Amino acid sequence: MPPRTRISCAGRECAETPTVDWESEVQLVSSLAKLQELERKIHELRQCIPAGILSPLAPISTSNNPSDQAASPSTLHHGLEIAAREGLANIEQFQSLWRSPELKPVWDHVQTRINESNGQLVQPTGMWEKDYASILAHLTTTKQSAEEDRLRQEEETERAKALSSEGGWRSVIERFSQRDLPGVHIIRSKNQDKPEFAVTLARAGMIFLLEGTREPDSPGVANWQVANKVASGRSPTKLELAILECLDSRPRKWDLAFLLDMISSYAEIKQTPCAKCTKLTNNAAQLPVIRRVQPAEQPTDSTQIFSFNAYHPDCL
């Protein structure tokens, strides 16, 4: 999201205006696409009067069918009323779009360019020569693909580093335990060489079993699987199953530090409100079981701590 600048207007505070990078190709194409869409809507609105509003009368004026011409005045009035309301709604929608905060910097930039060119039209042909919506879609897809490739490469580098790191998964558990998070405890397996242990969430009353699987000829754990441990004779609750489903769908399945931080985010699940609606339960009396990782800042050392936001399923 672009940074925002707050502007003071004659003693009162104006709305925040986004700072726009007009050197960005995506920004320029996006702005042109918005202007192009506005012109398309203008041509549509030109059909509103008289053709659009008087459309209910068209069958009477063009048809030789007596049944069409015999429409009652109340029927005609109802049809005209609906057409007028739809036309007015389209006009109001267009005005809202034209005056929206999103388009304000575009209009300011257009006016600046016109002033710089001494009033000459920015597009001298007077017509659109390209479909900027299609160009924008291509640029967006290309940018998104490049970003996904970058993130994938970064993750592969992190994964390779984690698998070959000294101490491996044991050192990750040790660093996590040293943080001494309230209500979160590690229970180690009797077999210290086996990548298997439990995480208890005392306040939430839950226990999760973690087991690592290895790849052939790989020194580290390639994937961590999570299971829910319940008392004998008791079935998992809906809440426990929902949390387990969320844990199973997580990214970075190789990253034990990520998994431990994600599990610990449920330690206070009965007190943690949804990051979007700010409520603890939704209309279906559900707790916010979904977790979305916050953008991580560059760690100052080799230890990276992940933070998560909580959401209700219907808030995403």
pLDDT tens readout for residues 30-69: 888 888 888 888 888 877 766 666 666 555 555 555 555 5
Q: Is the pLDDT of residue 151 over 80?
A: yes
Strands 8-9 and 4-5: unpaired
Q: Is the pLDDT of residue 281 over 70?
A: yes
Q: Is the pLDDT of residue 92 over 70?
A: yes
- Residue with more model confidence, 233 or 92: 92
Neighbours of 159 (CB within 10 A): 16
Question: Around 95, how many Cα atoms within 13 Å sit in the side-chain half-sphere?
Answer: 6
293: β partners = 308
pLDDT class of 210 with cuts at 50, 70, 90: very high
Q: Is the pLDDT of residue 177 over 60?
A: yes
pLDDT of residue 154: 83
* Amino acid sitting at position 50: P
Q: Is the pTM of this model over 0.75?
A: no
d(CA 225, CA 213): 8
d(CA 278, CA 287): 11
Residues in the chain: 316
Neighbours of 106 (CB within 10 A): 20
pLDDT class of 2 with cuts at 50, 70, 90: very low
Query: φ, ψ for residue 92 (rounded to 5)?
Result: -65, -40
Alpha helices in the chain (DSSP H): 25-45, 58-62, 66-69, 73-98, 104-116, 132-164, 168-178, 238-248, 256-264
Neighbours of 24 (CB within 10 A): 13
Alpha helices in 46-72 (DSSP H): 58-62, 66-69
Average pLDDT, the chain: 81
pLDDT class of 7 with cuts at 50, 70, 90: very low
pLDDT class of 4 with cuts at 50, 70, 90: very low
pLDDT of residue 78: 76
Q: Is the pLDDT of residue 1 over 50?
A: no
d(CA 6, CA 132): 30
